Amino acid sequence: MSVVIIGGGISGLALAHGLRARGTEVTLLEAGPKLGGNIQTLNRDGFIIEAGPNSFVDREPTLRQLATSLGIEGRIRTADPAAKRRYIYSRGKLREVPSSPPALLKSDVVPLGAKLRMMGELFTRRAPERDESLADFGRRHVGRTATAVLVDAMQTGIYAGDVEALSVGAVFPKVVELEKQHRSLVLGMVRTQAAARKALPPGEGAPKPTGAVSSFDGGLGVLVGALAQSLGTAARTGVRVEGLRREGNGWRLAVEEHGQQAELAADKVVLAVPAYVAAKLLRPLDETLAARMEGIAYAPVAVVHLGFAPGSLPPPDGFGFLVPTLERRRVLGVIHASSTFPWRAEGGRILLTCMVGGAKRPDLVELDDAALVTLAREELRELAGVTAEPSFTEVFHWKRGIPQYNVGHLERVAAIDEGVARLPGLFLTGNAYKGVGLTDCIRNANTLVDTLAR
């Protein structure tokens, strides 16, 4: 069996690696000059900078297992312990996000009235039997203010989305499951933790993932580099797939390779490309399926890195801060990259990574690099008091950055799955459908390895 994987982001790479480990012949085709998709790490002027994702949370073994199979587990580095502190810009200043329900009592992240309302979570009504926006879900559980501040900031950090549009079932499925079983999330958490303690006496069982924000010593590019090395010539860059048609029991692909048109045959094809690219390739085969895929919106994001000479400002505290939409600011959030990942800035340099745009301010991603640097500096001055002149700047524009799992997403994906199942030998993976995080992408690729190996 020969499998052609279209798309060399983490989804396609993890899939190719998993299939080869099971003895399947694989060719991976990547349109761009480099593998990695959204993951692009650069070493410049004493900084390790990430064009897209910065980290993963070591919450399940998926990514660690992939690293182990590549021999790079020892290169995983966890964030500085101080990165456990996170801030939200709210009501004129940065306020620390409480890390536990008791810490919430002392916290000023939301006003007293909102805190009292949050305690009413224990009395939340049962969920409606329909897909619900994250905002509606939040208001039902923790009230209007906590939703506008905390829930909105939380989604901004992952989706850069619109809290009123995102589907809670699609973006936080575990939370919805907790509600289904326990009605109140607080009750659900207490009961689940108690059950876990009973099931596993302390010190027993497999080593637990650390739960910490993590990356690699040389940035996330280390993972891509190891995957590329392991795939060798099975992964080809500079090959854009432009057409797809059935031929006998298999598939034929029309490709453009370094300006030359060519054709390739495959028994099975996997689309590991963004949904809008998959839609274009599938349109001649199934118009309805293509329209469904095209309906998945993407939020644009600009990533603005500002590097500072050692000593030019005090090292900022914690992981960084998020800015809820209601503050009407121009940054979505800032990662204190050098405080969180000290190895990413040499000799005491400071690196701040500002996220701009998102579903609510797509216009800002259209600004040119110089305007984005000015914007980031103005926002940092007003929100965090950073007045120092950066010695280094780098800007990345992601015009279609993060897929938006808006209300109706789960139904849409079920219909897409049905449509794809009608095309024998064709499969889908990638961040557009069942999770946008790196760990989600790898987990979904692993599931597809099992399906294909069967």
* 66 scored as a contact of ligand FAD (CB under 6 A): no
Residues 372-411 that bind ligand FAD (CB under 6 A): 398, 401-402
* 304 scored as a contact of ligand FAD (CB under 6 A): no
* 275 scored as a contact of ligand FAD (CB under 6 A): no
408-430 burial: b if 16+ Cβ within 10 Å, else e: ebbebbeebeebbeebebbbbbb
The one-letter amino acid at 394: E
* 319 scored as a contact of ligand FAD (CB under 6 A): no
By CB under 6 A, name the one of 49, 76, 135, 277 that touches ligand FAD: 277
What do you get for the CA distance between the two ends of the chain, in Å?
A: 12
By CB under 6 A, name the one of 5, 7, 141, 289 that touches ligand FAD: 7
Handedness of CA 189, 194, 197, 200 (dihedral sign): negative
> What secondary structure letter does DSSP report for 374?
H
By CB under 6 A, name the one of 24, 32, 164, 267 that touches ligand FAD: 32
* 300 scored as a contact of ligand FAD (CB under 6 A): no
Site string for ligand FAD, 212-241 (x = CB under 6 A): ----------------------------xx
* 290 scored as a contact of ligand FAD (CB under 6 A): no
| Cβ nearer to ligand FAD, comparing 30 with 179 | 30
- Residue 70 CA: distances (Å) to CA of 66, 75, 209, 223, 442: 6, 11, 18, 8, 14
C-alpha torsion 265→270→276→280, nearest 10? 20
Count of residues engaged in binding ligand FAD, rule: CB under 6 A:
36
Q: How far apart are CA 112 and CA 122, in angstroms?
A: 17
C-alpha torsion 360→365→370→371, nearest 10? -30
Q: CB of 132: closest distance to ligand FAD in angstroms?
A: 24
The one-letter amino acid at 121: E
* 243 scored as a contact of ligand FAD (CB under 6 A): no
SS3 444: helix
| Cβ nearer to ligand FAD, comparing 29 with 176 | 29
* 437 scored as a contact of ligand FAD (CB under 6 A): yes
Q: Which residues bind ligand FAD (CB under 6 A)?
A: 6-12, 29-32, 37-39, 52-56, 240-241, 272-274, 277, 301, 303, 398, 401-402, 430-431, 436-438, 441
